Amino acid sequence: MASSASDRKLKRELTTMDLLFLSLGGIIGSGWLFAASGAAVLAGPSAVVAWIVGGLIVLAIALVYSELGGMIPRSGAIVRYAQFSHDSFAGYIFGWAYFLSAVSVPAIEAEAVVTYASTYINGLVAASGVLTIPGIAIAMLLMFLFFGLNYVGIRIMGKTNTGVTWWKLIVPLATVIILLGVGFNPGNFALSSGFLYGGWPSVFAAISLSGIVFSYLGFRQALDYGGEAKTPQKSIPRATIASVLIGIGLYSLLQVVFIGHVDWSAIGVSAGNWGALAKASGAKALFDAPFATLSTSAGLVLLTYVLYADAYVSPSGTLSVYLGTSQRTLYGMGANGYYPAALTKIHEKYRIPVLPLVASLVVGFIFFLPFPSWYKLVGFISGATVFTYIVGGSALMALRKHAPELKRPFRLTGASILSPIAFVGSALIVYWTGWPYVAYIAIAIFAGLLVYAVFYLTSKVDNIFTAKSMKSGLWVPLFILALLALSYLGETTYGGIGVFPFPLDFVVVIIVSLIFYAISVVSATKTDEIEQMISLGTQYVATEGFPPVVGAAEGEEKES
């Protein structure tokens, strides 16, 4: 197939450590700069629980995708697994949703840089918290600079990211150690407002809305860059799982430090009124630049300067990684036949797909219009991204049924249990995103069908509406509509009208999700791509999951 020829043209330069640091570079971005304060506003001290619960759900998702990634390494991988298991209709919807989530991340990371800078540069952020025109202009310029870094190729980007990620690991870890030893007040965990400030619904809301899930979702980078790894079948599972475990530990400690360092008298807020951190004028700096403000209050001048510097480095590194992810997502959709084959054309010198990179930059700019602040965009990104992970569990079980012959360097133990957990967990996170964010996500996903229609009418692309494809994928739009209805009817904490209050809503979402999980597994089919992989047999395994190039001399690449 043409997609196989394009895949083999990509440079396979990345080591296990490179993939790990790409995932960590995605995980440790603007989330560590903002999410701790946002989570505390919603859940108080129990925000620590939200980080652990959210991390465990994401870990279940990552484990599922680790088997898929090791078995079928591809560039832009996540948008392609639904195609392999449920054919093109489902594959397109998940691919489009994933592109929306990935292409919007560079915008939010640029917003993070500008927001931190606004604490000492006037005129970048308005009093309402949204970026001004000069602020948006600077954010767009930052995105353009990292466009250049991605353009020159995967080797330079991968090695640059590794160096940046070492910084991104050391700074938050040092922040935890220093702030735990200076002025930490454990009494903030036992105030009169209680540990479960706002109750369990607020804990779950924090997972989706404050940036917790958004922070963890960087684990996908090892999967998306898998087609450019030297030994993908070994490297992808190791890097994916390790990145999530490191993220859970680091972020939980950062939340503990933040809770223990809030000085109520200094910000003019009554002790335990966590919700006021986002509203009180005295707490504005703490909310906009949490850890830099805490270090200033503790008299740690050097750490403060380092944290303000990191406010440029951490989001910028993640911006660069996700711009590359968006590029590879569009490449993957072109390789699947959803979009014109021009998207799979590889630059002869830099060996990257250039047209998807340009398109990703332009579309990323558009997200500044409806979501001109970090907190306005984070809920949309979290919900849209996690929705795309819903298919992972059913894809894993479907491929075990329809393609047992494929080599699985990492075979997930307990997959029959973890797969539905990953499916249901993803659905819950989308639900916790709340109304009207779920409605925004649904509208944006269905708009993708209009985009496809334009390409179908004007270009030579595959037909995703075949009888076989519709039979395998019709459950996807139906599940979107079900989640939309549950969001509207659900718990008022999540913006619903309260027909299903907590914990009844929790039970209803789980039951509905399990029903759709069963439908998704049963409706999966042996697709043409899987048939080809199976027919290649040992040749497929010998080429690390890439179809062999027939007739090529040793060390030579030809198009098949």
d(C-alpha 57, C-alpha 79), whole Å:
20
CB atoms within 10 A of CB 213: 31
Residue 468 tokens read as 């076989």
511 CB burial (10 A radius; 0-12, 13-18, 19+): exposed
| Residue 551 predicted with pLDDT over 50 | no
| Predicted confidence band of residue 419 (pLDDT cuts 50, 70, 90) | very high
Which of the two residues, 176 and 9, has the higher pLDDT score?
176
Compute the distance between CA of residue 36 and CA of residue 33 in angstroms, rounded to an integer. Answer: 7
Residue 488 clears pLDDT 90, i.e. is over it: yes
pLDDT value, residue 12: 60
Judge whether residue 250 has pLDDT over 60: yes
**pLDDT tens digits, one per residue of 14-52:** 788 888 888 887 788 778 888 899 899 999 999 999 999
| Coil vs helix vs strand at 14 | strand
CB 54 within 8 A of CB 426: no
Q: What is the DSSP letter of 353?
A: B
Rounded to the nearest integer, the mean pLDDT of the chain is 81
Instruction: Please tell me the total number of residues recorded for the chain in this structure.
Output: 560
- pLDDT band, very low/low/confident/very high, at 227 (cuts 50, 70, 90): low
Using CA atoms, how far apart are residues 539 and 456, in angstroms rounded to an integer?
A: 34
φ/ψ of 192, rounded to 5, equals -65, -25
Does residue 527 surpass a pLDDT of 80? yes
Instruction: List Cβ<8 Å contacts ≥24 apart for 352-357.
Output: 352/10, 352/150, 352/151, 352/153, 352/154, 352/327, 353/6, 353/327, 353/328, 354/151, 355/330, 356/326, 356/327, 356/328, 356/329, 356/330, 356/331, 357/147, 357/150, 357/151, 357/323, 357/324, 357/326, 357/327
Higher pLDDT, 545 or 313: 313
* C-alpha span between 68 and 60 (Å, rounded): 13
3-state secondary structure of 84: helix
Answer whether residue 517 shows pLDDT above 70: yes
pLDDT reported for residue 336: 73
Contact between residue 268 and residue 280 where contact means Cβ atoms under 8 Å apart? yes
pLDDT band at 330 (very low <50, low <70, confident <90, very high): confident
Mean pLDDT, to the nearest integer, of 496-520?
96
- pLDDT of res. 552: 37
pLDDT at 9 over 90: no
- The closest of 57, 61, 102, 58 to 394, measured between CA atoms, is 61
Whether 174 has a pLDDT exceeding 60, the answer reads yes
- Whether 335 shows a pLDDT value over 80: the answer reads no
Q: How many CB atoms lie within 10 A of CB 120?
A: 10
C-alpha distance from residue 39 to each of 86, 163, 470, 498 (Å) = 36, 29, 40, 23
Q: How far, in Å, CA of 87 to CA of 72, rounded?
A: 16
**149 and 326 in contact (C-beta within 8 Å)?**
no
The pLDDT-based confidence of 554 (bands split at 50, 70, 90) is very low
- Which of 278-287, 309-318, 392-401 comes out lowest in average pLDDT? 309-318
pLDDT: is 3 or 65 the higher one?
Answer: 65
Amino acid in position 308? Y
Question: What percent of the chain clears pLDDT 90, i.e. is strictly above it?
Answer: 28
Query: Given CA atoms 192, 196, 199, 202 in this order, what sign does their dihedral have?
Result: positive
Which residues contact residue 447 at a Cβ distance below 8 angstroms, ignoring those fewer than 6 apart? none
Mean pLDDT of 209-220: 83
Count of beta carbons in the 10 Å neighbourhood of residue 43: 32
Cα 344 to Cα 349: distance, rounded to the nearest angstrom: 15
- Looking at residue 559, what is its pLDDT? 33
The pLDDT confidence band at residue 77, using thresholds 50, 70 and 90, is low
pLDDT at 471: 93
pLDDT in tens, 310-329: 877 777 666 666 666 777 77
Give the pLDDT confidence score for residue 222 in this predicted structure.
79
Q: How far apart are CA 538 and CA 407, in angstroms?
A: 9
Tokens at 476, concatenated = 């996807």
Model confidence pLDDT, tens digit, residues 85-140: 998 899 889 888 888 877 877 777 788 888 878 877 888 888 777 888 888 888 88
What is the CB neighbour count within 10 angstroms for residue 37? 27
Confidence of residue 511 (pLDDT cuts 50, 70, 90): very high
Tokens 């025109």 correspond to 133
Residues paired with 530 in a beta bridge:
none
Interatomic CA distance for residues 494 and 204, integer angstroms:
9
Q: Who contacts 488 (Cβ-Cβ below 8 Å, separation ≥6)?
A: 435, 439, 496, 497
> Minimum mean pLDDT among 151-165, 344-358, 544-558: which range?
544-558
Q: Which two tokens stand for residue 450?
A: 């209009």
pTM, two decimal places: 0.80
pLDDT band at 560 (very low <50, low <70, confident <90, very high): very low
Q: Which range, 152-156, 224-228, 533-537, is most confident?
A: 533-537
The per-residue pLDDT for 98 is 82
Instruction: Identify the pLDDT of residue 228.
Output: 67
pLDDT band at 497 (very low <50, low <70, confident <90, very high): very high
Pick the most confident of 228-232, 401-405, 514-518.
514-518
Domains of the chain: 2-542 (1.20.1740.10)
